[in-house]
Amino acid sequence: MTLEETLVSLVDIPSVTGAEGRLCTALAQRLLPVYDMDGVSRIGNSLVVGRRTGRPILALVGHIDTVPEQGNGTARIADGMVYGLGTSDMKGGVAVMVHLLEDELVRASDFDVVGVFYDKEEGSMADNGLEPVLDAVPWLEEAEFAVVLEPTDLELQLGCNGSLNARITFMGSSAHSARPWLGSNAITRAGAWLDEMHRREPQPVTVAGLEFLEVFSVTKAGGGIAHNVIPPRFDLNLNYRFPPIYSMEDAARRVAEVAAAADEVEVIDAAPSGEIAEDNPHLQRLATVSGAERTAKQAWTDVARLTSRGIAAVNYGPGLVTQAHQVGEHVPIANLEACYTTLRRFLTEP
């Protein structure tokens, strides 16, 4: 199969978060003839493919789930692109992983090359499938370097922003809407703060020579009892993307400062930022082989989870960042080929 044919086959097996079983089975069936039972381990709907022989371990890491379908669940090839759900985020990267793990030169290289295919990345931090894989296969923490094949436009995207969600609550008191002065409108109390958030600009933060953007976004809102009742409570979700200079405790303090006008601030979900593996020799080799531009990873990826376990990691994949979660999602076939060629050289050259 060509890379694009493999990608089409992956897209045509639905794998929305929480329903990755069929795709996990298909990947196992494809790779079992190459690695046999000893080289393919299934943890729930995740797979670890490869053997530990004592050579330095290099890991290829990718999630197999997608966001929900938007009428784009079937793949098609046109104008040098593969279109369909997950083509950029990140089944294109998964297709590259499959071909690398099947490659004889990669398997015979100076490294133990291990593929980690995991589920539930697009869901909540707590349900992410990579954590159970790392718990079940502890020797993965011996990896000297990991490449997460998230969409990066073929850039080397170092580190990643952390992500925190907080419930921001404004309180009031109910009253009949005909006599609003007898109550306090929680929704309109939030108006000045919402206007401030609307006008708030992303703030650049430089880390290791890379520019990350600190971003606060209101992403959900809910309140009100009835059309004729002054609302006594208004809840909003504040999503905070924080650069690698901040710990999760720092991030929680920053949110409390930004939402000081609210009555209640409750952190409901948080994921740490990813460390920048700037001094790792494998990163230097990959930079030389790829010739890729080094940039900051603005979105959260599992580079953060890997680096928190002591595994140096970088984001490098064929997908287009702007296409993630889009209705017309696509990936250039040329990107698939370029990513495969670069990583093949990286994995086979000492």
| Active site members | 65, 121
* Listed residue (119, 136, 141) closest to 64, CA to CA: 119
Distance between terminal CA atoms of the chain?
Answer: 28
Give the neighbor-by-neighbor strand order of the sheet with 156-158.
40-43, 46-49, 112-118, 57-63, 145-148, 313-315, 156-158, 294-296
- List, in sequence order, every residue forming a beta bridge with 115; answer none if it has no partner: 49, 60
Q: Which residues contact 10 (CB under 8 A, 6 or more apart)?
A: 23, 26, 86, 91, 94, 95
Q: Find out whether the peptide bond into 81 is cis, omega within 30 degrees of 0.
A: no
Check: CB of residue 270 under 8 Å from CB of residue 128.
no
Q: Which residues contact 3 (CB under 8 A, 6 or more apart)?
A: 95, 96, 99, 333, 336, 337, 340
* 26, two tokens: 């298909």
For the chain, the farthest-separated pair of C-alpha atoms sits apart, in whole angstroms, at: 79
